[in-house]
């Protein structure tokens, strides 16, 4: 495997989010800035970098935080180089999160710490990267992202503090649930569901889980599987069922079906097709 490589792409979530998967051995980054924030997770090795007037070292499993327009550098801190993945959320992304957290006020968070050790957030970041790579649904990725970025902003951002979620009418939450039931094929975003209810994305996720005991994404999967079972019983092909129910592809459908029901779609159909 090449030691000097970086794969950049834009994920179709939160109106566009830049992501990178990189590893370097000899690369040295000169002083530069990004328009957005850098949220990086060191997977192997260690990185040395300059930020906010000082040098820092981020070891394996640590998280790098660089504010928008912060001048910074980057180089290896170990003989074998370093490997990392990073998100580049924009100021607008964090402004929206702060509005959801702090009484509808748009407060751009400032991260004082350049490197943090937080196993819980590191695990969430790994999950975010994994789901983006696997082409998971927009709702799933956005829910994970929103939770992770909100925890970073409230826990480590100087200007943002988390507040207790306001109560949301359960009847309105049911409208979102009904939307997921009816439009299983739609790759719905977190923002669209929150708009159905008429609340912030942060409050929507918390209130939906509290009201129904399941996350919006987990409910979406269940709604898709319920529809899939009906289609398979009626004799629809596995591929058509996967597409019509909103799964990324047939493999994605098979994986969720077996995980939930303990059998494959093909085996299910062979034993339950309505004559």
State pLDDT tens for residues 184-197: 999 899 989 999 88
- Kindly list the strands in the beta sheet with 47-51, ordered across the sheet, starting from the edge strand earlier in the chain: 29-32, 72-76, 47-51, 54-58
Domains and CATH numbers, the chain: 5-158 (2.60.120.280), 168-272 (1.10.10.60)
pTM value is 0.72
Confidence of residue 127 (pLDDT cuts 50, 70, 90): very high
Q: What is the pLDDT of residues 218-236, one digit of tens each?
A: 889 888 988 998 899 899 9
Beta strands in 13-117 (DSSP E): 17-24, 29-32, 38-45, 47-51, 54-58, 63-66, 72-76, 82-88, 115-116
- The per-residue pLDDT of the chain, averaged, comes to 87
């Amino acid at each position: 495997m090449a030691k000097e490589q970086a794969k950049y792409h834009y994920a179709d979530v939160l109106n566009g989010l830049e992501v990178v998967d990189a590893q370097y051995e000899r690369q040295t980054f000169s002083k530069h800035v990004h328009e957005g924030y850098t949220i990086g997770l060191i997977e192997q090795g260690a990185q040395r970098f300059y930020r906010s007037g000082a040098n820092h070292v981020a070891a394996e499993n640590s998280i790098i935080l660089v504010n928008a327009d912060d001048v910074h550098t980057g180089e290896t801190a170990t003989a074998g180089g370093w490997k990392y993945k990073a998100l580049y959320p924009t100021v607008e992304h964090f402004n929206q999160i702060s509005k959801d957290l702090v009484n509808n006020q748009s407060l751009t968070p400032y991260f004082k710490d350049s490197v943090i050790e937080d196993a819980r957030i590191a695990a969430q970041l790994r999950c975010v990267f994994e789901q983006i790579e696997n082409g998971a649904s927009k709702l799933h990725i956005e829910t994970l992202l929103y939770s992770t970025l909100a925890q970073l902003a409230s826990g480590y951002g100087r200007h943002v503090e988390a507040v207790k979620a306001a109560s949301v009418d359960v009847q309105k939450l049911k409208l979102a649930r009904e939307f997921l039931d009816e439009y299983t094929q739609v790759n719905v975003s977190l923002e669209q569901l929150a708009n159905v209810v008429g609340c912030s994305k942060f409050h929507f996720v918390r209130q939906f889980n509290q009201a129904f005991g399941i996350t919006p994404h987990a409910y979406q999967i269940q709604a898709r599987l319920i529809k899939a079972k009906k289609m398979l019983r009626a004799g629809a092909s596995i591929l058509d069922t996967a597409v019509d129910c909103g799964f990324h592809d047939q493999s994605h459908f098979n994986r969720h079906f077996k995980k939930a029901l303990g059998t494959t779609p093909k085996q299910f159909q062979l034993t339950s097709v309505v004559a």
